[in-house]
Amino acid sequence: MSHQISADFIAERNRAAEAATTEDYQALSRQLGRRGIDAEAITNAVMAFSVAIPTWGVGTGGTRFARFPGPGEPRNIFDKIEDCATIHQLVRATATISPHFPWDKTSDPKALHEAAASRGLGFDAVNSNTFQDQPDQKLSYRFGSLSHVEARVRAQAIAHNLECIELGRKLGSKALTVWIGDGSNFAGQSNLTSAFDRYLDSMREIYGALPEDWRVFIEHKLYEPAFYSTVISDWGTSFAAALELGPKALCLVDLGHHAPNVNIEQIVARLTRFKKLAGFHFNDSKYGDDDLDTGSVEPFRLFLVFNELVDAKQRRAEGFAPAYMIDQSHNVTDPIESLIQSAIELQRAYAQALIVDRQALAAAQGANDALGAHLELKRAFTTDLSPLLATARLRTGGAIAPIETYRASNYRAHKTKERPPVAGTSAGIV
Ligand SMILES: [Mn+2]
């Protein structure tokens, strides 16, 4: 029998912290009330927020240089589901998981579906992988996949994506995320026009195989593993591809996949405006595709992204239904702790965006009051909503202090005993 944190243990820890949390929540409610904000409405919205955990995120990540595995790492998709369930149990904001094939491939998708459902988890977008070779693979992706110069390699990559759709159907997923590493490392290596044409031809076949109620998410990334040109390098290319393919093709925004200093919140606004925003891979970044923990480097940028999302939602922007997923690489932390904290930071950014006085903001914008408009955002961003987030967790059966509760539970020590290390487990990041 594998170890789980008991509901009693969480309740007991909560009892010790409940009085202080309630006191802080009441003080915050009064503070927000003076600003005309109903704290209860914000708390309810936070309670309804959910972000998908990537299955690869619960394993220790790595870099091009090394991977330093942690103790008690998940060895297979069923172990990963256990860890995802533990995160959700404590934080109550991660009700779905986003699997990656072939890493999470199973001959028994029904068992996988049941294992997740038994822990209250569903499946979000499935992710294909044609950026590395698998042991049983006939043809190599060394020089590309969906845009490869050889038709037979493209056919193999297309077939893999179709298989992902089939697996996803059995899991209850409704979307396929496609990120390719295709590109070139030398000027002249690749014809920039025909490479994109070949990608579009391949994607048309994948698009044609989508079930009626499915969508395909196109994920762009500026560079890496290709360092001279990347086929789907930026949101403009992604947008052009999504337009070519049709209404079921949308553009995914991974926060680390842009040129330095790009205004990501404006990209979000543009994609929303043209009904092409698929959703997010949340993470944080200092230099490139760092896959750092969400909100750990630039929490203000994260807030500004949510400011656009709340704005779109409140004005009922047509076709607005973004999928929220985390995409991080945990190299020096316990992945469960990082994912708990990331989910909280997402709830925080969302709640902060919800308390922006949009009427006052619009009035300041209309009067060309630049600083006044900015201060409306800053007032929301600098309000400490921690007691509200803790209250949302308490009310949904989560932990007031999830990381402290997780540490006190000795979950990782239990898993270290239950899961002896196995050779060849990999965690990959896109
Ligand atoms: Mn990503």
pTM of the model: 0.97
The mean pLDDT of the chain is 96
Q: How far apart are CA 164 and CA 170, in angstroms?
A: 10
Q: How far apart are CA 343 and CA 346, in angstroms?
A: 5
For residue 294, the CA-to-ligand 1 centroid distance in Å is 13
Strand order in the sheet with 96-98: 53-54, 96-98, 122-123
For residue 323, the CA-to-ligand 1 centroid distance in Å is 13
For residue 4, the CA-to-ligand 1 centroid distance in Å is 29
For residue 44, the CA-to-ligand 1 centroid distance in Å is 29
The yes-or-no verdict on residue 430 having pLDDT over 90 is no
For residue 385, the CA-to-ligand 1 centroid distance in Å is 28
Model confidence band, residue 426 (pLDDT cutoffs 50, 70, 90): low
For residue 219, the CA-to-ligand 1 centroid distance in Å is 7
For residue 192, the CA-to-ligand 1 centroid distance in Å is 23
For residue 153, the CA-to-ligand 1 centroid distance in Å is 23
Q: How far apart are CA 288 and CA 406, in angstroms?
A: 31
Tally of CB atoms within 10 A around 34 = 8
User: What per-residue confidence (pLDDT) applies to 420?
Assistant: 87
273 contacts: CB under 8 Å, gap ≥ 6: 317
Nearest-CA neighbor of 276 among 320, 237, 244? 320
For residue 248, the CA-to-ligand 1 centroid distance in Å is 19
User: What per-residue confidence (pLDDT) applies to 421?
Assistant: 77
Tally of CB atoms within 10 A around 168 = 24
Helices (H) and strands (E) in the chain, counts: 15, 11
> In this structure, what are the phi and psi dihedrals at residue 262, rounded to the nearest 5 degrees?
-65, 145
For residue 326, the CA-to-ligand 1 centroid distance in Å is 8
Q: How far apart are CA 49 and CA 279, in angstroms?
A: 14
For residue 372, the CA-to-ligand 1 centroid distance in Å is 36
Q: Which residues of 299-332 are buried (b: 16+ CB within 10 A; e: fewer)?
A: bebbbbbbbbbbbbbeeebeeeebbbbbbbbbbe
The yes-or-no verdict on residue 28 having pLDDT over 80 is yes
Helix 192-208, helix 151-171: angle, nearest 10: 40
CB of 344 within 8 A of CB of 299? no
For residue 117, the CA-to-ligand 1 centroid distance in Å is 25
For residue 389, the CA-to-ligand 1 centroid distance in Å is 26
| pLDDT tens figures, 54-86 | 999 999 999 889 999 999 999 999 999 999 999
For residue 348, the CA-to-ligand 1 centroid distance in Å is 21
Q: How far apart are CA 5 and CA 10, in angstroms?
A: 8
For residue 319, the CA-to-ligand 1 centroid distance in Å is 22
The yes-or-no verdict on residue 428 having pLDDT over 50 is no
Neighbours of ion ligand 1 (CB under 5 A): 254, 281, 327, 430
pLDDT (mean) for 253-259: 98
The yes-or-no verdict on residue 429 having pLDDT over 50 is no
User: What per-residue confidence (pLDDT) applies to 424?
Assistant: 58
The yes-or-no verdict on residue 106 having pLDDT over 90 is no
306 contacts: CB under 8 Å, gap ≥ 6: 349, 350, 352, 353
Helix (H, G, I), strand (E, B) or coil at 98: strand
For residue 260, the CA-to-ligand 1 centroid distance in Å is 16
CB of 74 within 8 A of CB of 83? yes
The yes-or-no verdict on residue 29 having pLDDT over 50 is yes
The yes-or-no verdict on residue 210 having pLDDT over 60 is yes
Q: How far apart are CA 125 and CA 252, in angstroms?
A: 11
| pLDDT tens figures, 160-188 | 999 999 999 999 999 999 999 999 999 99
DSSP secondary structure letter of residue 294: T
Helix (H, G, I), strand (E, B) or coil at 283: coil
Nearest-CA neighbor of 163 among 121, 127, 116, 133? 127
| pLDDT tens figures, 363-411 | 999 999 999 999 999 999 999 999 999 999 999 999 999 999 999 999 9
For residue 327, the CA-to-ligand 1 centroid distance in Å is 5
CB of 401 within 8 A of CB of 390? yes
User: What per-residue confidence (pLDDT) applies to 64?
Assistant: 87
Q: Which tokens hold the place of 167?
A: 């697996």
The yes-or-no verdict on residue 155 having pLDDT over 90 is yes
| pLDDT tens figures, 411-420 | 999 999 999 8
